[in-house]
Amino acid sequence: MVERWIEPAGLLHGPVALQAVRDGHALPLAGGPAAFPLARLIEEGRDLGIHPVAELPGDGWEALLPPLTRRPLPFAGLPNDRPLVMGILNTTPDSFSNGGQHLDPRAAIAAGHAMLEAGADILDIGGESTRPGAPPVGPEEEMARVLPVVRELAKAAVVSVDTRHPATMRAALDAGAEIINDVTALRQEPASIRVVQEARAPVVLMHMPVLDPRRMQQETNYADVVLEVARFLRQRVETAEALGIPRGRIAIDPGLGFGKTGAQNLLLMQRLPLLAGIGCRILVGASRKCFIGQVTGVEEAAGRLAGSLAVAQAAASAGASILRVHDVAETVQALRMWRACTDGAAAELG
């Protein structure tokens, strides 16, 4: 089977995008509100050039348009008409951003409630740091860290558990979590797919070139990082679907910072709309990451708020529908203002 991709280009927003779609000069990206008047065609890794969407060739290319243009199904029963904010809650002593701050379950639970009050749609709770070079944590210790927090916050929120261990997945789902967020895209152990399938749980599949986070920054030699990440994610989605996890319950994450250089992270952001062709919701987790510090010159992770907000807005503009962030209140405000400016949302003035 010939590998083909349609990569949206020249994105439009607001009333101009709506008018271009009505006039047949553009197509909606993942159901809108962004639209694309141009598309790069890629076949077997070869760039076939940029074409107006009104003049795309036949010969099967049109079959790639429906997953690219229609709105993905609601994820975990949450709204699909705006970007969702996923608040990061690490119950670890060695997180790159706030290691140890939420190791005490009471502190983590309080922080989770504060994120909900600030507007978080999802709380993502993790008990193992997967930053570059981080030592592994066994499922027993991981469960001891996350389960008390999951059990309490699941009473008030949609909870995601950030884990690559099937035992933790199963226990967290039993404790009330609704979403599995796996940095290994369900590759760590064969049982992972079975846990998700049997629980009928939504899942986030992320790109990471190797299973061991300690080695991932040694694996950054890509011919085309964007195409290789897209290819990996499409294959993982197809595998999960074949094993009983429907595409509507899958979100995909390009894995910024996981086995990528700073320049490669920026390329993934610039060409993020390519991933929409997989037909799943796109999650972007860039908050406070090293590449933001490289661009802005801010060494301390906690000082990268402005850069993180800029990336969140750029991701939302390019079709991301879930943003995984540390700074929930600020991100919610930035997204609300961005939507008001780009879509002319009069409701924001009420």
Please count the CA atoms within 13 angstroms of the CA of 299 that sit on its side-chain side: 0
Please count the CA atoms within 13 angstroms of the CA of 142 that sit on its side-chain side: 23
**Residue 185 burial (CB < 10 Å; 0-12/13-18/19+)?**
buried
Q: Which two tokens stand for residue 63?
A: 């079959």
> Using CA atoms, how far apart are residues 318 and 288, in angstroms rounded to an integer?
19
Q: Which two tokens stand for residue 102?
A: 């939420």
> Using CA atoms, how far apart are residues 232 and 185, in angstroms rounded to an integer?
10
Which residue in 204, 206, 165 sits closest to 183, CA to CA? 206
Which residue in 143, 88, 140 sits closest to 112, CA to CA? 88
Which residues are part of the catalytic machinery?
Answer: 289, 324
Q: Give yes or no for a contact between 25 and 37, defined as CB atoms under 8 angstroms apart.
A: yes
Stretch (H or E) spanning 9: strand 4-9
Q: Which two tokens stand for residue 335?
A: 């997204």
> Using CA atoms, how far apart are residues 170 and 192, in angstroms rounded to an integer?
9
> Phi then psi for 289, rounded to 5 degrees?
-75, 165
> Phi then psi for 165, rounded to 5 degrees?
-105, 125
